[in-house]
Amino acid sequence: MLHHIAFLTTILTLISADHSVTIKNSCSFDLYPGVAGSTNTSNNGFLLTSGSTQIVTYPLDSNGLWSGRVWPRTGCVPTEGDPNGLVCETGDCGNKLQCSTYGAGGVTLAEVTHQTAQDWYDISLVDGYSVPMSYGPQDGTGACKQIACSVPPKDFTCPTELQKKNAAGELIECLSACTALGNAEYCCTGAHNVPDTCPASTYSLGFKKQCPDVSSQFEGLVFVAHSPVSRPIVMLMMISQVRSPAVAARNTR
């Protein structure tokens, strides 16, 4: 199985082969990708300098499955005296270099489920938007195409109430309404835990308008952005620079 993810300009690329993922940082700055899933990978967090790549392998469970996500961490500072200590402005996973849990909400996510017959992948903004990204198969037999959210962060329209800024006053994330406000109608919880009572909001529609190929509503209720792929494939995820038009995802929420 081949997967490829890339972060461009502001970009990360991931490639996966034989249950591995190659992550390439095509951004103009360094990143610390975080990786977490149903089983631990060979490397759940690391420094990825601009222009460099890193291969991460992941073991399948007894049913031949693996499900997980990759996300970019930015504004990171290693903890002095602790080789596994890392504090990040975005995507932080408990102040650790090696992630044992998913990162803090607000970042762009790449998600994949490997299974026996098909693989499923998507780009998700259900937590927020931080870095441009594209994701798609290469050299495979499936019909799936590349998906992307390639809007430069400086050009991404983000309501004031969803903006997250760092200590210097710089916008570093556009949070989803669920992450920023926590209301049940935005998180699809409580009385809003079924599609009929959790319609797309003005906020999620705003995300969707700017990045039509991604999942922008509560992930527990949105599955149609996932695309089946017959193996072997390469999945490409980029940040900022996109190789081809993103036309694969079908989510309409």
pLDDT at 213: 83
Q: Is the peptide bond before 59 cis (omega within 30 degrees of 0)?
A: no
CB atoms within 10 A of CB 160: 5
Is residue 65 pLDDT above 60, yes or no?
Answer: yes
Asked if 169 and 192 touch (Cβ cutoff 8 Å), the reply is no
pLDDT score of 219: 38
Residue 167 lies in a domain: yes
CATH of the domain at 143: 2.60.110.10
Mean pLDDT within 188-212: 90
CB of 230 closer than 8 Å to CB of 3: no
Averaged pLDDT, 120-141: 80
Most confident of 119-123, 202-206, 215-219: 202-206
Amino acid at 191: A
Amino acid sitting at position 67: S
Whether 82 maps to a domain, the answer reads yes
In a domain, 240, yes or no: no
* Domain count across the chain: 1
Note whether 55 and 20 are within 8 A (CB): yes
Average pLDDT over residues 67-91: 94
CA separation for the pair 209, 91 (Å, rounded): 24
Inside any domain, residue 242: no
As a whole number of angstroms, the distance between CA 221 and CA 162 comes to 21
Contact between residue 11 and residue 243 where contact means Cβ atoms under 8 Å apart: no
Please check the confidence at residue 6 and state whether its pLDDT lies above 60: no
Note down the domain range covering 52. Answer: 2-229
| pLDDT at 99 > cutoff 80 | yes
Can you tell me the mean pLDDT for 177-193? Answer: 92
pLDDT band, very low/low/confident/very high, at 132 (cuts 50, 70, 90): confident
Is 239 inside a domain boundary?
Answer: no
Mean of pLDDT over the chain: 77
Judging by DSSP bridges, how do beta strands 86-87 and 163-165 pair with one another?
A: unpaired
pLDDT in tens, 236-245: 344 332 222 2
In a domain, residue 138? The reply is: yes
The predicted pLDDT at position 220 comes to 33
Bridge-partner residues for 111, per DSSP? 69, 122
Give the pLDDT mean for 93-98. 97
For the chain, where are the alpha helices, taking DSSP H only? 177-181, 184-187, 202-210
35 is a domain residue: yes
